[in-house]
């Protein structure tokens, strides 16, 4: 079963752009959640009347609870997403994380705050795991990596939004107001998604629900392709495996391990640098505002560079571009140790953003297009879930290095080595396991596209 390489008409384009926009806005709140805790942490540390006395160690644990929740949420979405559908998973998780953010704003002690951070993370993990599968099944094949990059660039964009709002309005709304902002999708994004986000026709076809797929195709202009067998490249004498069972099959076991290691490296670098870059640069002699500017440049570089790299991935294939992006991070992080002037340092941080946060954006696109429809949700969930272990380890590594008094140069060398290991894992992913388009037969409807 294959998607068209371009638009079948204006209605198709309009429908897909709605899906991309809604998914991107949802993913913005992953980035928002990542950074908003850091923006309110100084208040919680300095004012015990907010939640109680908060030590540095407890603060670090609270920061990790949401990441553990994200990991669990991703695996839950992978377990059920390939069975219950993309639309249903997106809507449920928008409700879940919105309610969680609002409830967190009402917390009055550390225990409740930590539990709600964990529960909110489950909803965010479900969104991250589902969005990639959604875009892979709606976007034309020539634009999949770009649209995945747009959607997952919501992570650094959400971080920027959280940082800016904290600077501008935190004195007026307090830390609780910043969490209430995280609950706004319940009354803004959810109604739009309910109306404008259809179920994936490709997923419906893979589940044998042909009539429903045709009805959605007729209503939205999205081409519907009917293959003799769902994901015919996997056709065997045995029943087709779905979800995580397919990932564990002989065909996908090794690629799944390597893709998971790629995501582990990407998210370790993303969370490690987002957490500790300001402190590392401060220890290198920059003042507080100057060190914070490096964080904004890191995320800004990830957004711009990630979109450019995704465009190249659509033209030349994602594997080569992801490996190159990891290598760029290696060189940029080493460059930060060479004592260059501020303009060169900022440029190196921007490139490091492309090679770390931007690379993770590319990895989600790579993974979502690597697996067949029957395993796509589980594949992205594995990538997001196992990768979050890297997100948990990254800040821990940074904290251990800073706590041990190790120089900033050594910290950058360690992160550079992790980026190089990510590039090696990328190059080892087997080409032969990638899904190739199967012969398809047009469904008997005037609105259904023929095979290319």
Per-residue pLDDT reduced to its tens digit, 364-376: 888 877 887 777 7
In tens, the pLDDT along 303-316 reads 888 888 888 888 88
Q: How far is the C-alpha of 317 from the C-alpha of 429, rounded, in Å?
A: 13
Please give the CATH number for the structural domain made up of 10-441: 1.20.1250.20
* pLDDT score recorded for residue 264: 92
Q: How far is the C-alpha of 439 from the C-alpha of 420, rounded, in Å?
A: 38
* pLDDT score recorded for residue 3: 52
**pTM metric for this prediction:** 0.74
Q: Is the pLDDT of residue 444 over 70?
A: no
Mean pLDDT on 311-340: 88
Question: Residue ranges of the domains in the chain?
Answer: 10-441
DSSP 7-27: -SSHHHHHHHHHHHHHHHHHH
SS3 state at 235:
coil
Mean pLDDT on 147-151: 85
Q: How far is the C-alpha of 336 from the C-alpha of 409, rounded, in Å?
A: 8
Which range among 91-95, 243-247, 336-340 shows the weakest confidence by mean pLDDT? 243-247
Confidence of residue 291 (pLDDT cuts 50, 70, 90): low
- State the burial class of residue 236 (Cβ atoms within 10 Å of its Cβ: 0-12, 13-18, 19+): exposed
* pLDDT score recorded for residue 402: 65
* pLDDT score recorded for residue 188: 92
* pLDDT score recorded for residue 372: 77
Q: Is the pLDDT of residue 431 over 80?
A: no
* pLDDT score recorded for residue 241: 67
In tens, the pLDDT along 211-232 reads 888 888 888 878 777 655 444 4
Mean pLDDT on 280-292: 65
Q: Is the pLDDT of residue 434 over 60?
A: no
* pLDDT score recorded for residue 106: 93
* pLDDT score recorded for residue 252: 81
> Between residues 15 and 447, which one has the greater pLDDT?
15
Mean pLDDT on 94-123: 92
Q: How far is the C-alpha of 355 from the C-alpha of 344, rounded, in Å?
A: 16
| Mean pLDDT taken over the chain | 80
Nearest of 298, 303, 299 to residue 346 by alpha carbon = 298
Rounded percentage of the chain residues whose pLDDT exceeds 70? 85
Mean pLDDT on 398-402: 69
Nearest of 190, 21, 191, 197 to residue 101 by alpha carbon = 190
> Between residues 327 and 204, which one has the greater pLDDT?
327
Distances (CA, A) of 52 to 56, 111, 112, 118, 249: 13, 10, 11, 19, 49
Maximum average pLDDT range among 39-53, 99-113, 168-182: 99-113
Maximum average pLDDT range among 48-52, 92-96, 432-436: 92-96
In tens, the pLDDT along 402-427 reads 667 777 778 888 889 999 999 999 99
């Amino acid at each position: 079963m294959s998607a068209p390489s371009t638009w079948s008409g204006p209605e198709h384009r309009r429908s897909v752009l709605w899906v991309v926009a809604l998914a991107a806005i949802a993913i913005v709140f992953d980035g928002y959640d990542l950074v908003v805790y850091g923006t309110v942490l100084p208040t919680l540390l300095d004012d015990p009347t907010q939640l109680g006395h908060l030590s540095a160690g407890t603060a670090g644990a609270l920061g990790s609870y949401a990441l553990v929740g994200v990991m669990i949420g991703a695996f839950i979405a992978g377990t059920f997403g390939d069975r219950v559908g993309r639309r249903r998973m997106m809507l449920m998780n928008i409700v879940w994380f919105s309610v969680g953010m609002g409830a967190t704003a009402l917390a009055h002690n550390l225990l409740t705050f930590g539990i709600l951070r964990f529960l909110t993370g489950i909803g965010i993990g479900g969104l991250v795991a589902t969005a990639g599968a959604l875009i892979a099944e709606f976007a034309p094949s020539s634009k999949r990596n770009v649209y995945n990059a747009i959607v997952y660039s919501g992570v650094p964009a959400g971080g920027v939004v959280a940082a800016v709002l904290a600077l501008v309005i935190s004195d007026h709304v307090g830390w609780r107001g910043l969490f209430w902002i995280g609950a706004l999708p319940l009354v803004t994004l959810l109604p739009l998604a309910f109306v404008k986000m259809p179920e994936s026709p490709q997923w419906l076809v893979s589940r044998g629900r042909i009539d429903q797929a045709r009805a959605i195709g007729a209503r939205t202009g999205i081409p519907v392709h009917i293959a003799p067998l769902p994901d015919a490249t996997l056709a065997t004498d045995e029943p087709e495996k779905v979800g995580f069972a397919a990932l564990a099959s002989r065909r996908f076991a090794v690629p799944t391990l390597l893709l998971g290691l790629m995501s582990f490296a990407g998210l370790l670098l993303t969370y490690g640098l987002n957490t500790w870059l300001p402190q590392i640069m401060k220890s290198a002699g920059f003042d507080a505002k100057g060190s914070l500017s490096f964080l904004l440049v890191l995320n800004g570089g990830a957004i711009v560079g990630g979109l450019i790299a995704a465009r190249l991935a659509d033209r030349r294939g994602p594997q080569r571009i992801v490996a190159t992006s990891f290598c760029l991070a290696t060189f940029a992080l080493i460059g930060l140790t060479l004592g260059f002037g501020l303009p060169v340092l900022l440029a190196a941080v921007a490139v490091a953003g492309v090679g770390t946060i931007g690379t993770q954006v590319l990895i989600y696109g790579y993974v979502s297009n690597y697996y067949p429809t029957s395993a796509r949700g589980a594949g992205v969930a594995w990538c997001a879930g196992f990768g979050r272990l890297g997100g948990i380890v990254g800040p821990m590594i940074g904290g251990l290095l800073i706590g041990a008094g190790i120089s900033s140069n050594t910290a950058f060398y360690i992160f550079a080595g992790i980026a190089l290991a990510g590039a090696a894992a990328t190059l080892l992913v087997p080409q032969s396991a990638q899904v190739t388009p199967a012969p398809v037969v047009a469904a008997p409807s005037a609105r259904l596209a023929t095979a290319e």
